[in-house]
Structure 1
Amino acid sequence: MSLIGEPQVADSSQANQDYPLSAVPMSDRRPIWSLAPLLMGFALTSTTLLAGGTLGSSLRFADMLWVMIVGNLALGAYCAALAYIAAKTGLSTVLMARFSFGAIGSRWVDFILGFTQIGWYAVTNAFIASALLKLLNIPASFEWFAIVFFTYAFCVTAYMGYTAMDWLSRLAVPAMLILIALSLAIGFRDAGDLFAIAPQKSIGVTEAIGVVIATFISGGTQATNWSRYADSTKNAVGSTLLAFLFINGLLVFTGAFCTLVYGTNDLIEAMARQGLLLGGLVLLILNVWTTQDNTIYAFSIAGSNFFRTSKRTAFVLGGATFALVLALGGIYGNMIPFLLFLGTVIPPVGGIIMADFWFNRGGRFPSLDDPLPAFNWAGVISYIVGAAIAYFSGSAGFGIAPINGVISAAVLYVILCRVLPSSVRA
């Protein structure tokens, strides 16, 4: 095989479409100051504030701090491990899954990753349309127009590809961090003694850590779409930790802090109370844009692999249109529980890929051109068991559901690769 990480030449159609079906060659890799803002923009998402609000209303401030540290360390480690493999091989998660799930079996991975992203794209567009109308006192009858506008506006940079998303993030991420820092500074002035505030609700420690990890582990599983562009494994890991350790941790803290001080986990509402409504609106637009373009981009990569076509941009437009139908059809109230369920059963995919790369293949993947079995049953069985363990252990309150799923799937995959005959595994 040609180890991906060595210089390679890809055909022009792959390069023009951001390599949906091939490894990113070294000639098109990017430095950390390009990759880090893009991943940080992806992680700057308003849904993480909601998770922080759960902690802020359920834990004492001191307990909340160490829960956030432990949870984000676990999330960052998981995402950084996948980022290392992506930079080493140049492959996205859906391409890696071909080896551990098989040529046909990997299409299940394409489906759950792609459907999750397009679902969140629709939900978030409906959310921002509703939020802006309320903040600006615009009649609700204009909501459909706002949903249509944001559905296609947010996918422009994803359609243009990595370079456009890169420059958006370089401009947006510093602006967002400045606005968050300003709001937090005012909040600390208004806060009083945070350590003396008693929680209004109760949550177990393992459940609280699970909430932190679950905030973005689904997105983190697909962050390889960008970390595969890293010019070194060191820069891939560093960029990923900045996003999924620092940025995710900052947003969890901000959501918790706003809940404690202002009684709401909505940072934009808190900024309005602080007299920063304009800054809040800017933050809301940039926050959603840098996450949404990554989201629809991830859908386009999964869709390209599912149909084995390099026409990635067609899936950007097609996915946006599908999301528009979902959003106008009232997805916001009905789809979120299902998307959260998918977020629980996605992490075992990452565990299997890591086990396949390091323990089954000795730190290298074969060529994508090599023939593969239709199903790698070691991966399929391990996924089913790992996803079931994640779901039922979460329902029973036993351990941390996403971590349970990742570890159990990885361990079982290693075992099955040793005992199953080679005819039913890669």
Structure 2
Amino acid sequence: MNAEKALNNENSANQSVDIDYTLTHVPHSARKNWIAIFAVLLGFTFLATTMSAGANLGTAFNFSDLLSILMIGSIILSIYVALLCWISAKTGLNTILLARYSLGKIGSKWSDIVLGGTQVFWYAVQSAYMGTVFTQALGLENYYVPITIFFSLFFGAFAIWGTRGMEIVAYASIPAFLYLAYKIPALSIESAGGLKNMFLIEPTTTFSFTAAVTIVIGTFISGGTNAPNWARFAKTPKVGFMTGFLSFFIGTIVMSLSGMMGGLALQQGDMVEILFKMGIIVMGIIILIFNIWTTNTATAYSFGVAGAEFFNKPNKVPFVIGGLIIATVMAAFGIYEIFIPFLITLGIFIPPLGGLIIGDYLYTWRKSFPKIEHVKFRTVRYANLIAYVLATLGAYLSSKFEIGIPALNGVVLAIVLVYIMNTVFKLLGISDFHEITDQPENESTVYYDNSKTTIQQ
């Protein structure tokens, strides 16, 4: 009896360590209502820095071009995110574990570094922006460092709480989001003297069209690639796809358009100055607090998951704390100055990774996926690694020579190259697939499909 009680206590302890299923499939019993997932993903797109990026673009294009840039970037990004969310809901796996299938046990560490590292950097940028806005608005520039440190640690604390903490923050931020969606565009139109006059304003700076689309995509691409961290809790792949698409499409339109219209109407690329001139700095600060709170909580969760996979530990908390310390130090020392170049870099180097996961899922696994405990992972899947490197190179060259849209090029190239490289390896007789182990006698492969395990003969 005592032994049984001890075993139950041990099982309970193990479950309490990894309530977010960091290193395994999310079971059917833990799947969530679509509203909760949609709220978290929408909250993830509440990027104040996206408004700032939009304001920069608002000074470089007329209103018609801005709408075209926004629509193209939003559709590309949302479809990309939706496909990843569909795969994650189908498999119950987060982005990092999906990358383990695509790149292998050691190869996937690159995705940990890329996604986890960029999320730490992104967290630092957001915290630095919050510190800058708050101190400038209240005339507390001399207290930038302690105020930035406070906000950075405060936002990240909710990620330690897990998905439940993020849901609470997301719901709390909805009123601010709705206010923002109305107020800044309305004041921008008023400042321009009417909507017709918005189309007549001439830009005062220059920017290439493809670079502008890349920036729109780049503001969300790192977070979008991490969207499976929450979409894996969706009850069906269809729900995962729809919540991923709608949340990022709505979020991108609202946040980018608000910044674009403010920047265009006032010909001002500094979002703080725009809020000052519009006379809504106090409400603006309140909005930005909720805005960055939702984003940074989800961001901290993402780099915690990446760290847990990198070190193969079923507990994200130590890695959330470690990432918070690094990001807070970066924020305190003014990382925000390299924001725009950072966005362009994200829009080039991260999409091929998502494209690789999509391509590998369609080519290798198709509609079935082996449970992670039944897979003996290869150290590196070289065919996919080569596909990723070539796709990234293609995205970079297309950016350098302004050929098409680099982010879209990277995704498409990765998907196509997965097929090409794996076919070449097959023709050469090179085995580059994982070994499926521990399968029942007289049965082929055990696959995971949402709530049940099915057998494919």
The alpha-carbon deviation at position 424 of structure 1 amounts to: 3.2
* Contact 2:61 2:206 (8 Å CA) reproduced: yes
Structure 1, unaligned runs of 5 or more: 1-8
Aligned position for 2:180: 179
CA–CA separation in structure 1 for the residues paired with 2:349 and 2:103? 15
CA–CA separation in structure 1 for the residues paired with 2:12 and 2:349? 33
CA–CA separation in structure 2 for the residues paired with 1:130 and 1:59? 26
Aligned position for 1:106: 108
**Letter in structure 2 aligned against 1:359:** Y
* Contact 1:268 1:281 (8 Å CA) reproduced: no
The alpha-carbon deviation at position 14 of structure 1 amounts to: 6.9
* Contact 1:17 1:312 (8 Å CA) reproduced: no
CA–CA separation in structure 1 for the residues paired with 2:281 and 2:207? 32
**Letter in structure 2 aligned against 1:371:** K
**Larger mean Cα displacement after TM superposition, 330-339 or 193-202:** 330-339
The secondary structure found in structure 2 opposite 1:154 is: helix
**Letter in structure 2 aligned against 1:305:** E
Aligned position for 1:366: 370
CA–CA separation in structure 1 for the residues paired with 2:347 and 2:211? 15
* Contact 1:382 1:409 (8 Å CA) reproduced: yes
Equivalent residues in 2 for 1:259-278, closer than 5 Å: 259-278=263-282
Q: 1:51 to 1:10 in 2, by over 3 A?
A: farther
The secondary structure found in structure 2 opposite 1:76 is: helix
Structure 2, unaligned runs of 5 or more: 1-10, 435-457
* Contact 2:399 2:405 (8 Å CA) reproduced: yes
CA–CA separation in structure 2 for the residues paired with 1:186 and 1:342? 31
Aligned position for 1:404: 409
The secondary structure found in structure 2 opposite 1:103 is: coil
1:224 corresponds to 2:228: yes
Aligned position for 2:300: 296
Q: Alignment RMSD, CA only? A: 2.1
CA–CA separation in structure 1 for the residues paired with 2:150 and 2:351? 33
Aligned position for 2:309: 305
* Contact 1:61 1:195 (8 Å CA) reproduced: yes
Aligned position for 1:4: none
**Letter in structure 2 aligned against 1:424:** D
**Letter in structure 1 aligned against 2:176:** A
Deviation string, structure 1 residues 1-29 (Cα, Å, up to 9, x no partner): xxxxxxxx999437744111011111111
**Larger mean Cα displacement after TM superposition, 303-312 or 336-345:** 336-345
Equivalent residues in 2 for 1:8-407, closer than 5 Å: 12-13=14-15, 16-138=18-140, 140-192=141-193, 193-333=197-337, 337=341, 340-369=344-373, 370-407=375-412
The alpha-carbon deviation at position 393 of structure 1 amounts to: 1.4
**Letter in structure 2 aligned against 1:238:** M
CA–CA separation in structure 2 for the residues paired with 1:170 and 1:202? 38
* Contact 1:345 1:390 (8 Å CA) reproduced: yes
**Letter in structure 2 aligned against 1:262:** L
CA–CA separation in structure 2 for the residues paired with 1:403 and 1:289? 29
Bigger radius of gyration, 1 or 2? 2
* Contact 2:189 2:198 (8 Å CA) reproduced: no
Q: 1:235 to 1:314 in 2, by over 3 A?
A: same
Count of matched residue positions in the alignment of Structure 1 and Structure 2: 417
CA–CA separation in structure 2 for the residues paired with 1:101 and 1:16? 24
CA–CA separation in structure 2 for the residues paired with 1:24 and 1:107? 21
**Letter in structure 2 aligned against 1:156:** A
CA–CA separation in structure 2 for the residues paired with 1:37 and 1:135? 29
**Larger mean Cα displacement after TM superposition, 176-185 or 374-383:** 176-185
CA–CA separation in structure 2 for the residues paired with 1:182 and 1:373? 53
The alpha-carbon deviation at position 194 of structure 1 amounts to: 0.8
Aligned pair partner of 1:424 in 401, 426, 432? 432
**Letter in structure 2 aligned against 1:35:** I
TM-score (norm 2): 0.86
Q: 1:231 to 1:126 in 2, by over 3 A?
A: same
The alpha-carbon deviation at position 334 of structure 1 amounts to: 5.6
**Larger mean Cα displacement after TM superposition, 360-369 or 98-107:** 360-369
Deviation string, structure 1 residues 84-141 (Cα, Å, up to 9, x no partner): 1011111111100111101110001111110101011122212211221110011x33
CA–CA separation in structure 1 for the residues paired with 2:148 and 2:206? 36
The secondary structure found in structure 2 opposite 1:305 is: helix
The alpha-carbon deviation at position 278 of structure 1 amounts to: 2.0
**Letter in structure 2 aligned against 1:313:** V
CA–CA separation in structure 2 for the residues paired with 1:63 and 1:13? 52
CA–CA separation in structure 2 for the residues paired with 1:209 and 1:330? 26
TM-score (norm 1): 0.92
* Contact 1:255 1:266 (8 Å CA) reproduced: no
* Contact 2:218 2:343 (8 Å CA) reproduced: no
The alpha-carbon deviation at position 197 of structure 1 amounts to: 1.2
